Amino acid sequence: MIICAGTVLIDCIITASGTESVADAITLAPGGEAFNEAVSLARLGERVRLIAPVGHDAAGDMIRTMLNREGIELQSVYDGTTLVSLLTVDTDGGRRSRVSKAHSLAGYHPNLPGDGFSFVTMASLFRPPFLDPADCLDFARRVKSFPGTMLLADTKLPKGTDPQLADYRKTLALLDWITPNEAEALHYTQTGAPEEAARVFRSYGVRNVIIKLAERGCYVLPESGKAFTVPAFPVECVDGIGAGDAFNAGLIHKLSSGTVLTDEKLREAVLFASACAAVSVTKRGATAALLSAAQPDALLRQFIHTAG
Ligand SMILES: Nc1ncnc2c1ncn2[C@@H]1O[C@H](COP(=O)(O)OP(=O)(O)OP(=O)(O)O)[C@@H](O)[C@H]1O
Ligand SMILES: [Mg+2]
């Protein structure tokens, strides 16, 4: 079983031009990195448990219904308000989001099951519930107390806080994988290029680093030290939001199979992850496009055919 720990929320999305009182559309959509990863992993055929704060309210009931439909188990010990955010999308492309005080997740601590899992993802580091360095370390230590369990952390840019990498030193040393996007990697490492940023993460003891570079693909610095890049698949991008979560789901799906990770297997896993992300950008919505492993598999076959 794979555990996705972190955030799930309901976005209320208002698509409107200017300040007119009648919007083009007002919709509700589930989101949050842990939720997005969990949905993609379940569709790739994995057994998944989401560990996230889901309250006993209407938004929480919506999330439970969606998780049931996707066959995802939920583990939530939480008495607070389910997170709801307001996202205004201007028809000219501008976006503004508004969150509430509930998003600080004060007092919420993700709790792990007794056993039965092989891979855990923190989605995402530097945002609640993985903002406080002591909470992060406590979680990472609990994960790594299960021998052989792999721990991956995605990241987000800070919001109203200024997290410093050095304060997360002990947590970073327990990570098997970190998967920031370029802006996040450069921000937290105070560097100017993905290669340098990856080296900084490695110097903190993270075993493997993948820096996601949107339409430029990704840069990988594995434990073996043999860095490589994988270009993005040439697809028409309709909406890049959630690409990183689909990427992580594809990566985890391949890495969690339990075989020994050679450089070749790693490259195959990253290619599959990139294919999942490429599928995900072809439709609006973080989890709208990627429905099964057949889509990234088809993209890979097409790519290998074209390259060959
Ligand atoms: N336009 C695109 N075309 C093809 N693949 C893309 C495109 N944009 C992103 N990808 C793929 O998705 C991966 C992750 O993208 P990105 O760097 O945007 O992550 P991210 O910013 O963490 O995304 P998010 O946080 O919104 O989920 C990239 O490494 C690439 O493989
Ligand atoms: Mg991301």
- Domain harbouring 294, CATH code: 3.40.1190.20
Helix (H) or strand (E) holding 96: strand 95-98
Q: Is residue 63 situated within a structural domain?
A: yes
> Which residue CA neighbors atom 20 of ligand 1 most closely?
244
Residue 273 lies in a domain: yes
Q: Is residue 284 in some structural domain?
A: yes
Other beta carbons within 10 angstroms of residue 279's beta carbon come to 24
Q: Give a yes or no: residue 295 inside a domain.
A: yes
For residue 85, tell me if it sits in a domain: no
Mean pLDDT of 56-80: 96
Q: Please, what is the average pLDDT of the chain?
A: 94
Work out the average pLDDT over 261-279: 95
pLDDT in tens, 118-172: 999 999 999 999 999 999 999 999 999 999 999 999 999 999 999 999 999 999 9
Q: Does a structural domain hold residue 299?
A: yes
Q: What pLDDT is stored for residue 299 in this prediction? A: 96
Q: Which two tokens stand for residue 30?
A: 């589930």
The residue whose CB lies within 8 Å of the most ligand 1 atoms, and thus the one to mutate among 11, 184, 212, 299, is 212
Per-residue CA distances from 110 to 120, 130, 150, 215, 255 (Å): 12, 9, 17, 33, 23
| Rg of the chain, C-alpha, whole Å | 19
Joined together, the tokens standing for residue 266 give 């790693």
Ligand 1 binding site (Cβ under 6 Å of any ligand atom): 181, 212-215, 217-218, 232-233, 235, 237, 240-245, 247, 274, 277-278, 281
Sheet (strand 218-221) strand order: 73-75, 48-51, 2-6, 119-125, 150-155, 177-178, 208-212, 218-221, 228-230
Beta bridge partners of 13: 27, 87
Q: Provide the percentage of residues in the chain whose pLDDT is more than 90.
A: 86
Give residues whose Cβ lies within 5 Å of ion ligand 2. Answer: 244
Reported pTM: 0.96
The Cα 54–Cα 51 span in angstroms is 9
Question: Quick check: is 240 in a domain?
Answer: yes
| Of 36, 181, 219, 302, best ligand 1 pocket probe by most atoms within 8 Å of the beta carbon | 181
pLDDT band at 212 (very low <50, low <70, confident <90, very high): very high
What is the number of the ligand 1 atom nearest to the C-alpha of 240? 8
**Which ligand has the nearest atom to the CA of 271?**
1
pLDDT for residue 308: 52
CA of 21 to the centre of ligand 2 (A): 33
For the chain, how many structural domains are there in total?
1
Residue nearest to atom 7 of ligand 1 (CA): 215
Cα of first residue to Cα of last residue in the chain, in angstroms, is 36
**Is 14 inside any structural domain?**
no
Measured in Å, residue 290 CA sits from the centre of ligand 1 at 14
Mutation choice for ligand 1 from 152, 177, 215, CB with most ligand atoms inside 8 A? 215
114 CA distance to ligand 1 middle (Å): 34
Ligand nearest to the CA of 210: 1
What ranges in 28-75 are assigned the alpha helix state H?
Answer: 33-43, 58-70
Listed range (15-24, 46-55, 196-205, 265-274) with the worst mean pLDDT:
15-24
User: Domain containing 168: what range?
Assistant: 2-9+31-80+108-307
Question: Which pLDDT score, from 0 to 100, does residue 307 have?
Answer: 62
Where helices occur in the chain by DSSP H, the ranges are 33-43, 58-70, 133-144, 169-172, 182-189, 194-203, 243-255, 263-280, 294-307
